[in-house]
Amino acid sequence: MSKRALITGITGQDGSYLAEHLLDQGYQVWGLCRGQANPRKDRIAKLIPELSFVDGDLMDQGSLVSAVDLVQPDEVYNLGAISFVPMSWQQPELVTEVNGTGVLRMLEAVRIVSGLTKSSGGSPRGQIRFYQASSSEMYGKVAESPQRETTSFHPRSPYGVAKAFGHYITQNYRESYGMYGVSGILFNHESPRRGAEFVTRKISLAVAQIKLGQMDKLHLGNLDAERDWGFAGDYVRAMHLMLQQEQAGDYVVGTGAMHQVRDAARIAFEHVGLDWQEHVVVDPGLVRPAEVETLCADSGNARRELGWEPEVDFEQLMRMMVESDLRQASRERDYSQLLATGSW
Ligand code: NDP
């Protein structure tokens, strides 16, 4: 019988790649979707027609219990979150509710539906395996570099603090109830499906528009900011592998290679034959109140124990994103021209 997976955050970048990966592995996949008319649901339903949906919100405990009870999953992937770090200074309470307490609600839903109690010593009705989307942002002000599973946390944003709670509460449910719960401490990962508010996608979108003559300048914050950026399609494979291990454990996932924002801009502009320095404007208003330090993954455990390796490098990733945005922007331009001329 095929395995059943429930994914929260299905309308997001990782949710879509993970759903495709699990369907390829023969799973039946449900995505938890919130809101009465979520426009992103239609988009993903078109992209992945084999996907099923169940209603629910990480802010609503009852809806999560109902969703887990309805799907009866073998595996739950909790990817739902407000994922844009700067927003966590604007709405810290909401981000804490969704990204922190939301994890607890999802764990409770799994615990209740699987009938786990402190004394049950593991699930009496078969294990539901739980994956939590932890983040390198938990490290923040780094105690050692590169960061590994044992590196201590010092988050530098309300987002990072909420993710640290989610991380620890997942460990706690593993220890308190014998739940199979793991956290993937994922470093930044991008793709053509990344939200437009994130710097790599902001760059690829702007490069496409500048190439087509639709804009001229791209405003960026700290060009020296460095990240360990990988490809989302590679990282969802690691999520799945983590839930296939005999023993539940947490893993760091990243490429171990660092790149600056200026590298991302240079590669993207060069890909379309433009000089980034002629188009990028530094805007101090876009710099974070408290910047994380150099975050670089030591994914040794994931490579050794999961057999995981990233396949797409940073240059390939940036070029892939620019190509995708260029195709999309060209289609939209052609469509507007058709509308303007009326020549269907
Ligand atoms: P996205 O921002 O692309 O997707 C976030 C998803 O969370 C959306 O589907 C959104 O759905 C959903 N969501 C938001 N609020 C709620 C809520 N109250 N209840 C249920 N769902 C909700 O993020 P990514 O796909 O990039 O990231 C996936 C996870 O991995 C996130 O938890 C993120 O914090 C974490 N992470 C991501 C990294 C990265 O570099 N991408 C790095 C490390 C961790 P809706 O359509 O309803 O808004």
Q: What is the ipTM of this complex?
A: 0.99
Q: Is the pLDDT of residue 293 over 90?
A: no
Nearest to 51 by CA among 42, 59, 60: 42
CATH superfamily entry for domain 2-189+229-251: NAD(P)-binding Rossmann-like Domain (3.40.50.720)
pLDDT at 291 over 70: no
Distance CA 255, CA 24 (A): 24
83 CA closest ligand 1 atom index? 34
**pLDDT band for position 302 (50/70/90)?**
very high
Name the strand (E) or helix (H) holding 60.
none
Domain map (residue ranges) of the chain: 2-189+229-251, 197-224+256-293+312-333
Asked if domains 2-189+229-251 and 197-224+256-293+312-333 share a fold, the reply is: no
Residues marked active site are found at 135, 137, 159
User: pTM to 2 decimals?
Assistant: 0.95
Residues within a 6 A CB radius of ligand 1? 8-15, 34-35, 38, 40, 57-59, 79-83, 98, 133, 135, 186, 188-189, 195
E strands of the chain, at which residues? 4-8, 28-33, 52-55, 75-78, 129-135, 181-186, 189-190, 218-220, 226-227, 230-231, 251-253, 259-260, 280-282
The average confidence (pLDDT) of the chain is 94
CA distance linking residue 108 with residue 62, whole number of Å = 10
pLDDT in tens, 18-64: 999 999 999 999 999 998 889 999 999 999 999 999 999 999 999 99
To the question of domain 197-224+256-293+312-333 being in CATH 3.90.25.10, the answer is: yes
Q: Is the pLDDT of residue 216 over 90?
A: yes
Distance 273 CA to ligand 1 centre (A): 34
pLDDT at 118: 74
Instruction: Report which protein residue has its CA nearest ligand 1's atom 6.
Output: 9
- Closest-CA residue, ligand 1 atom 26, reads 13
- State how far the Cα of 135 lies from the Cα of 162, in Å rounded to an integer: 10
Given CA atoms 236, 237, 241, 244 in this order, what sign does their dihedral have? positive
